[in-house]
Each structure stands twice: as structure tokens, then as C-alpha cells.
Copies of this chain bind each other. A is one copy, B any other.
Amino acid sequence: MAIHTFIDILKRALDEEMTRDASVHLLGEDVAAGGAFGVTRGLADKHGATRVRNTPISEAAITGLATGAALAGIRPVLEIMFIDFATLALDCLLNQTAKYRYMSGGQLTVPLVVRTQAGAAGGAAAQHSQSLETFFIHIPGLVVVAPSSPIEAYGLLKSAIRLGEPVIFIEHKRLYTMKEELPQDFALPAIGKARVAREGTDVTLIAYSAMVQTALEAAKELESNGISTEVIDLRTLLPLDMDTISQSVSKTHRVLIAHEAVQNGGMGAEIAARIGAELFDELDGPVQRVGCPFAPIPFAPELERALLPGSHHIVQVARRMMGLESV
């Protein structure tokens, strides 16, 4: 068993999928040079420059090109360097990519994966630190996946490439250097299913992407406070796996949702609304959210730290939910 960083394991997943299926092609700014984070380094040498293609800085056109190629039978894996710039691709993703199958009355499908980097990672400031998954969960026709660790990324990326739908695949920058051992026997996870990352009985803590790691830390600390926390890793944000959530909530009766994105109008809002409507009678108290306060990400580290939600916020809210801390 080998230990892999998030970066290495993504590369491995891409490499294996390209080897398995000749229609898989990589596209994006600097991808032949490895991309901004080195994920695709070496793949051009191995699979050829046609299948690993550098593009100009034209987010709109390369997303359109990838969509058109997907409609024509290629399986592109497109990298949009930062999710902050995915807005440049959003017209295409919203108005073409996501709607093609529906608008054509089922004649066409768009087997496309858009990999993109999200999240704050220390001083990247307001235009390189955002968590914008909410834009995508509001678009019928898309699938949104956000892995929480190297192993998760490996399986989910492979599943996403094989799915045959347009998938937005969100990689958190802070996870890139995280290491994990890849087990030898490994069943690919199903897109659309969440997983229980840690079992517990008092509070259901729902997270995704890097926040799952933060949630696990918080859960540890909460354990020493006598609070047993069940951590759910959503894996797929769209569609949302309410079954897994519901099973957990029927056990704990308390829910805390944590994400790095701005709280207002964030993913947590939808989850809280669904739980509030579908599991109302199961709840012993209000569903709580921990998210980013309503401001852009500031540059100075003190400010960035002050803004971003961390495990201490989760611990504090969870303690309050258990009556261990006053409001």
C-alpha cells in the first residue's frame, strides 16, 4: 500500500481513466505543464499532447469547446484553474451544458467533468479563495461532487468520469498536500451517495470537501466534552443524499451543517431547509449552520482567520446545542 497526496492521487485517477478509455481527454490552462498545482504533470508525456491540451486563457470558449466535444462523443475532463473564474464559464454551463439533454428531448448527453479548485488557503485573497458550489447546485442538469480526502478524490473522480453527466468536481486547495493510504481493494463510490465519516449519537455534523477534515477534528474535541458526533461527508452536493442524512438525524435529533462558503444562500441553507421540512418531528432543536460570514475573503492572515469557519466554531455551536454553553 502506497501513501499518496491528494495531488498524486488525482493524477493517478486521471492516468488510469485515460488508459482505460481512449475518449477521455484533458483540457485546460497549463494542464500540459501540470496545471497550477501539478495535478496533471507528466500526463502529456504519457498520453500525448492531443489528449492533454493546454488552452488559452479563455474560460468561456474552452468550456463551450469541451461541451461541444462531449456532445460529439469525447469525454473531456476540463480544468478551470480556480472556481473564482468558473463564473466566466457559467453562461455555458448554465445555458448549454446543463440543459442540453433536456432541451433536445433526450437526444444528447454531455459526459463532461469540470475539475476546479476552491477554498481559502492562506493569503490568496478575495478573487482566489472562494467557495462557490452554491451556484452549481441551483442548476438542473448538473451534478456537483466535492471530495474530502485523497482516497475520496480518487474514487469520486473516477466515478465522475464514468458517469456520463456534466459533473462539477470541486477540489479544495487546502487538501492538496493531504496524504492517505489507498487500500488495494477499492469499490468506486456511487455518485449521489453520502458516507458516514464517523459514527456518533448526539449530533449529526454534515460537511463536505475540506470541511470534513475540520469536522472530524471538531468531533474529536467534542468527544472529550462527552459529546458523540456523527460526521456525514456529503461527497455529492447535487443531488443531495437525504436518505443518509435522514438515518443519522433519526438517531441524533440534532443537526449542525458546516461549510466554508458564505452562509447566506449557501449549500447549508438547502440542507437545513430540507431537514426542517422533511424531518421536522425528528428535531430536538433548531438546525444550526456554520459558514463564512457575509464578506469577501480578506488578504491579511489575521483577517482571513477571523472570517473563515474553523473547528472551534463547530465545537462552540455543538456545545451550545447540547446545552453545555450559553447563547
Q: Which A residues lie at the B interface, using CB under 8 A?
A: 84-85, 87-88, 90-91, 94-95, 98-99, 102-103, 125-127, 132, 134-135, 137-141, 238, 240, 261-262, 264-270, 272-273, 275-278, 280, 283, 285-289, 294-296, 298
Docked complex Cα distance between A237 and B102 (Å): 30
Within 8 Å by CB of A138, from B139, B264, B273, B287, lies B264
Docked complex Cα distance between A229 and B126 (Å): 43
> Do residues A103 and B87 form an inter-chain contact, with CB atoms below 8 A?
no
Other A-B pairs beyond A102-B296, A265-B267, A269-B269, 6, CB < 8 Å? A99-B127, A103-B125, A138-B264, A140-B296, A269-B272, A273-B273
A117 to chain B minimum Cβ distance, whole angstroms, is 15
> Do residues A286 and B296 form an inter-chain contact, with CB atoms below 8 A?
no
> Do residues B265 and A137 form an inter-chain contact, with CB atoms below 8 A?
yes
Between-chain CB contacts (< 8 Å), 8 pairs:
A87-B95, A95-B127, A138-B266, A140-B294, A269-B272, A273-B273, A277-B287, A280-B286
In this complex, which of A273, A288, A295 has the most chain B Cβ atoms within 10 angstroms of its Cβ? A273
Chain B residues with CB below 8 A from A138, complex form:
132, 134-135, 261-262, 264-266
Q: Please, which residue of chain B has its CB at the minimum distance from the CB of A91?
A: B87
Chain B residues with CB below 8 A from A139, complex form:
262
Chain B residues with CB below 8 A from A265, complex form:
134, 137-138, 238, 265, 267, 269-270
A156 to chain B minimum Cβ distance, whole angstroms, is 20
A270 to chain B minimum Cβ distance, whole angstroms, is 4
> Do residues B84 and A95 form an inter-chain contact, with CB atoms below 8 A?
yes
Given A91-B85, A269-B270, CB of A264 within 8 Å of CB of B127: no
> Do residues B87 and A296 form an inter-chain contact, with CB atoms below 8 A?
no
> Do residues B296 and A103 form an inter-chain contact, with CB atoms below 8 A?
yes
Within 8 Å by CB of A87, from B84, B94, B262, B272, lies B94
Q: Please, which residue of chain B has its CB at the minimum distance from the CB of A130?
A: B94
Chain B residues with CB below 8 A from A289, complex form:
273, 277
> Do residues A141 and B296 form an inter-chain contact, with CB atoms below 8 A?
yes
Q: Please, which residue of chain B has its CB at the minimum distance from the CB of A136?
A: B265
In this complex, which of A84, A90, A276, A294 has the most chain B Cβ atoms within 10 angstroms of its Cβ? A276
Q: Please, which residue of chain B has its CB at the minimum distance from the CB of A60?
A: B88
Chain B residues with CB below 8 A from A298, complex form:
102
Docked complex Cα distance between A134 and B266 (Å): 9
A280 to chain B minimum Cβ distance, whole angstroms, is 4
Docked complex Cα distance between A283 and B281 (Å): 11
Given A276-B272, A276-B287, CB of A296 within 8 Å of CB of B134: no
A255 to chain B minimum Cβ distance, whole angstroms, is 10
Chain B residues with CB below 8 A from A277, complex form:
272, 286-289
Chain B residues with CB below 8 A from A272, complex form:
269, 272-273, 276-277
